[in-house]
Amino acid sequence: MWKEFKEFIARGNVIDLAVAVVIGAAFGRIITSLVEGIIMPPIGLLLGKADFSNLFIDLSGQRPVSLADARLKGLPVIAYGRFFNDIINFLIVAWIIFLVIKAVNRLRAAPPPPANTKDCPRCLTAIPLAATRCSACCADLPATA
């Protein structure tokens, strides 16, 4: 059993997955830092410093002043404001990741186009793939499929 475990861990795809998780976590921290430190402050300024984290529905009927007050008293509440904040953060993070990946994909070199010529076996002149006769030496060429 130990031998099978060692073989499982030593496989390339398991190690690749572990590296991807570590890099993904680091990349996630970078994106979170970008969103919270650079992108959210201007958005908060535009929205009038909107913070939904203190929105809640009181289920006890005692009308607490704030969410912190309700939690301090142990009152049952539905704290939906933080959920809204998390949704907004998720959408912003997803958008930033989309933009970063789009930029990285743009930086990658496009694969070369497939060859549309072949060399004549007799004179080595470049001729179109569908040609059946060489234009340079007039050699008959076998048809290609």
Share of the chain above pLDDT 90, in %: 1
pLDDT digits (tens, 9 = 90+) for 86-106: 888 788 878 888 888 888 888
Residue 127 CB neighbour total at 10 angstroms: 20
DSSP 3-state of 8: helix
**Residue 112: predicted pLDDT:** 83
pLDDT category of residue 39 using cuts at 50, 70 and 90: confident
**Residue 76: predicted pLDDT:** 92
DSSP 101: H
pLDDT higher than 60, residue 145: no
**Residue 81: predicted pLDDT:** 84
pLDDT higher than 80, residue 139: yes
**Residue 50: predicted pLDDT:** 65
* Contact assessment for residue 96 and residue 35, using Cβ atoms and an 8 Å cutoff: yes
CA distance 88 to 83: 9
**Residue 12: predicted pLDDT:** 65
**Residue 49: predicted pLDDT:** 64
Fold of 2-114: 1.10.1200
Whole-number average pLDDT of the chain: 82
Higher pLDDT, 61 or 145: 61
Higher pLDDT, 49 or 114: 114
- Say which amino acid occupies 41: P
Strands 77-78 and 126-128: unpaired
Partners of 131 in the β-ladder: none
pTM as predicted: 0.52
Q: How far is CA 145 from the centre of its chain?
A: 40
Strands 126-128 and 117-119: antiparallel
Higher pLDDT, 45 or 69: 69
CA distance 20 to 39: 26
